[in-house]
Structure 1
Amino acid sequence: MLEDIKTLLGLEGSERDALLQTIISMTTSRLKVLLGVQTVPEELSYIITEIAVVRYNRIGSEGLSSHSVEGESQSWSDTDFAPYQEEIDAYKAAQQTPARGRVRFL
């Protein structure tokens, strides 16, 4: 995952590895809480990669919701996980066991 993130960011070498590992760790922890799991399923690991790239690119702009300089404007979502909420909800719904019902024959 680290190498994928470095490739997406155009980073070479290992000078930013500790920072990226911290971002990966924090993102993974948050996703586990949102999913209600101990381990992030492989099929949703792309969320960690994509959010890690977003968080890396926002370093120095933490806490801002928007920024404008000389006609260029940037704005950020309240939560990094908002674009992935449908996937998170779908995974959680698929993991729920159906309620046991009662069948009655008349």
Structure 2
Amino acid sequence: MAVLDDVKALLGIDDEDNKLNTIITLTESRLKTLLGASEVPSTLEYIVTEVAIARFNRIGSEGLSGHTVEGEALTFRDNDFEAYADDIQAWRDAQESGQDIGRIRFL
């Protein structure tokens, strides 16, 4: 799985396959729902990679929206996909207008 390898490489971990696969599966499911698609298009796989990393890094801190210790503050987003909303909308707009970005169609 390419996304799993990307996530592991970026996190520098080797023995977390089950946990990462679960995070990736859930992230893909959520993105497919947001896209209204049955599969995550390859052009948007980077979203799965980046959101999966963010979710992995928050393990143990689920539900925490902010934390401050000795001047260091941590704040988590409510919606992991918020930063990618424009990309998701652009993909949806292209699908609705019938454009197949990066594909050639012969009629």
**Band the TM-score falls in, shorter-chain normalisation:** 0.7 to 0.9
Query: Which of 4, 7, 22 is the aligned partner of 1:5?
Result: 7
Report how far residue 77 of structure 1 moved: 1.1
Matched, 1:68 2:68: yes
Could you tell me which runs of 5 or more consecutive residues in structure 2 were left unpaired when the two chains were aligned.
Answer: 99-107
Matched, 1:16 2:20: no
- The TM-score, its normalising length taken from structure 2, stands at 0.86
Could you tell me which runs of 5 or more consecutive residues in structure 1 were left unpaired when the two chains were aligned.
Answer: 99-106
Q: Which has the larger radius of gyration?
A: 1
**1:96 matched residue in structure 2:** 96
Counterparts of 1:30-49 in structure 2, within 5 Å, are 30-49=30-49
Report how far residue 3 of structure 1 moved: 1.1
Aligned AA (2:64): L
Aligned AA (2:83): P
**2:85 matched residue in structure 1:** 85
Rounded Cα–Cα distance in structure 2 between residues aligned with 1:59 and 1:74: 14
Query: After TM superposition, which residue ranges in structure 1, 4 or more long, deviate above 2 angstroms?
Result: none
Name the Cα RMSD after superposition: 1.0
